C-alpha cells in the first residue's frame, strides 16, 4: 500500500497532539536530561541508546555555536533542542503541524529560541537557497525520500560544504529486513507510520549526487535482537542479555569489519558539494 503525505501527516499529528497536554517542566530539555532519558531503561529511547549516544557525539564533535541548523523531520525535536541549547540557531521542520507546535513549546520551556515550519519535504519554499550550515535528520530521511524532489530540496537549502548528519535504521541486511517486516506485521504497525523505506546502499548512492565525504558509522549486529525485548528493558535479566550481545558485537565487528554492512543502525555524516 502506498502512503500519501496526508495520511502520514494525520498519523503523526495524532501521535504528537497527545504530548501537547504535558506541563512545561516535562517538556524542558538540556543535554543532561536528554542523556538521562537515553540511559533510562524505562524510556523508549533506551532501546537505541548506543545510536543516540553516538548521534550526540557526532553532532557536537564540531562547534555548533552560531550555526544555522535545520532539524529535518524533527518529530518531538530532541536533537534540535540539544543543538539550540548548545547555541545553534535552530529551525524545526516536519510534515506534522502538531510536531512543530510541540517543538516550539519545548523550546520555550527550555529557554531557547527556535523557528518552526510545517511543510512537505518535497517543497521547502519557506527556506532560502544555501540557508543552513547543518542539517540533522533522525529516522526521517527514509520517510521523505519517497517523495519526488525531496533530496534536491534538502541539498538546495544547505550551504556548499554544509554538514549533514543522519541517525537512521540501516537496511543493508536482508535477513534483518525480513525480520523487521515480520515484526511490523505481527504487531499490526500502522502503515501510515511510513516505514516501507529503510536507509540502505541505494539511498546512500542517491546522496552521492549532492554530497561528498559520506561516512557511515554502523552499529548493532547481534544486538538488534533488542527489538524482541521492546518494553522490557527494566528487567535486569533483559539488560544483561543486551549487554552480552553488545559485547559480542564489539568483538566480532572489530575482527571482521566487512560485517559492519549487516548492522541494523547507523549514523551517517556527509558534506554538501561545494
Q: What number is the average pLDDT over the span 63-76?
A: 98
Query: For residues 59 and 81, is the Cβ–Cβ distance under 8 A?
Result: no
What confidence tens digit (pLDDT) does each residue in 22-37 have?
999 999 999 999 999 9
Per-residue model confidence (pLDDT) at position 123: 93
| The three three-digit cell numbers of residue 25, written as one number | 517542566
Q: Residue 188 — left, alpha, or beta (φ > 0 → left; ψ -120 to 50 → alpha)?
A: left
pLDDT top residue among 5 and 264: 264
Per-residue model confidence (pLDDT) at position 149: 94
Confidence of residue 2 (pLDDT cuts 50, 70, 90): low
Beta carbons within 8 Å of 150's beta carbon, 6+ residues apart: 121, 122, 144
Query: For residues 15 and 8, is the Cβ–Cβ distance under 8 A?
Result: no
Q: What number is the average pLDDT over the span 58-87?
A: 98
Q: What number is the average pLDDT over the span 200-204?
A: 93
Query: For residues 51 and 243, is the Cβ–Cβ distance under 8 A?
Result: no
pTM of the model: 0.93
HSE (CB half, 13 Å, CA atoms) of 120?
A: 12
| The three three-digit cell numbers of residue 23, written as one number | 506541563
Average per-residue pLDDT for the chain: 93
Please give the Cα distance from 157 to 93 (Å, whole number): 12
Q: What percentage of the chain's residues is helix, strand, coil (to nearest 5)?
A: 50, 20, 30
3 state SS of 158: strand
| The three three-digit cell numbers of residue 227, written as one number | 527489538
Q: What number is the average pLDDT over the span 6-26?
A: 91
pLDDT top residue among 26 and 180: 26
Judge whether residue 132 has pLDDT over 60.
Answer: yes
Domains for the chain: give ranges and CATH numbers: 5-272 (3.40.50.150)
Please provide the size of the chain in residues.
Answer: 274
Host H or E run for residue 90: strand 89-94
Judge whether residue 196 has pLDDT over 60.
Answer: no
Per-residue model confidence (pLDDT) at position 194: 47
Judge whether residue 74 has pLDDT over 70.
Answer: yes
Q: What number is the average pLDDT over the span 97-121?
A: 97
Per-residue model confidence (pLDDT) at position 143: 81
Please give the Cα distance from 106 to 103 (Å, whole number): 5
Per-residue model confidence (pLDDT) at position 7: 84
Per-residue model confidence (pLDDT) at position 127: 98
Per-residue model confidence (pLDDT) at position 179: 80
Judge whether residue 192 has pLDDT over 50.
Answer: no
Confidence of residue 180 (pLDDT cuts 50, 70, 90): confident
Looking at 142-151, 194-203, 221-230, 263-272, which range is the least confident one? 194-203
Q: What number is the average pLDDT over the span 231-245?
A: 98
Nearest to 155 by CA among 143, 169, 145: 145
**What percent of the chain shows pLDDT beyond 70?**
93
Q: What number is the average pLDDT over the span 199-211?
A: 95
| Strand pairing report for 158-169 and 265-272 | antiparallel
Per-residue model confidence (pLDDT) at position 187: 63
Q: What number is the average pLDDT over the span 206-233?
A: 96
Amino acid at each position: 500500500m502506498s502512503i500519501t503525505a496526508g495520511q502520514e501527516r494525520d498519523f503523526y499529528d495524532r501521535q504528537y497532539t497527545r504530548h501537547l497536554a504535558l506541563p512545561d517542566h516535562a517538556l524542558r530539555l538540556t543535554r543532561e536530561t536528554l542523556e538521562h532519558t537515553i540511559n533510562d531503561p524505562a524510556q523508549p529511547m533506551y532501546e537505541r541508546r548506543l545510536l543516540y549516544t553516538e548521534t550526540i557525539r557526532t553532532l557536537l564533535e564540531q562547534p555548533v555555536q552560531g550555526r544555522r541548523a535545520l532539524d529535518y523531520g524533527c518529530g518531538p525535536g530532541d536533537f534540535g533542542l540539544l543543538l539550540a541549547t548548545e547555541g545553534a540557531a535552530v529551525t524545526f521542520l516536519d510534515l506534522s503541524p502538531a510536531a512543530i507546535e510541540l517543538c516550539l513549546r519545548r523550546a520555550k520551556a527550555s529557554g531557547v529560541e527556535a523557528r518552526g515550519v510545517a511543510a512537505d519535504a518535497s517543497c521547502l519554499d519557506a527556506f532560502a537557497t544555501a540557508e543552513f550550515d547543518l542539517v540533522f535528520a533522525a529516522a526521517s530521511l527514509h520517510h521523505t525520500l519517497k517523495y519526488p524532489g525531496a533530496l534536491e530540496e534538502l541539498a538546495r537549502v544547505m550551504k556548499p560544504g554544509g554538514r549533514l548528519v543522519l541517525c537512521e535504521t540501516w537496511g543493508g541486511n536482508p535477513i534483518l529486513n525480513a525480520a523487521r517486516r515480520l515484526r511490523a506485521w505481527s504487531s499490526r504497525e500502522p502503515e501510515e507510520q511510513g516505514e516501507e523505506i529503510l536507509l540502505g546502499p541505494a539511498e546512500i548512492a542517491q546522496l552521492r549526487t549532492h554530497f561528498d565525504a559520506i561516512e557511515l558509522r554502523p552499529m548493532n549486529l547481534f544486538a538488534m535482537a533488542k527489538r524482541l525485548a521492546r518494553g522490557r528493558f527494566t528487567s535486569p535479566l533483559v539488560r544483561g542479555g543486551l549487554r552480552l550481545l553488545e559485547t559480542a558485537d564489539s568483538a566480532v565487528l572489530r575482527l571482521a569489519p566487512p560485517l559492519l554492512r549487516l548492522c541494523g543502525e547507523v549514523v551517517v555524516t556527509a558534506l554538501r558539494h561545494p
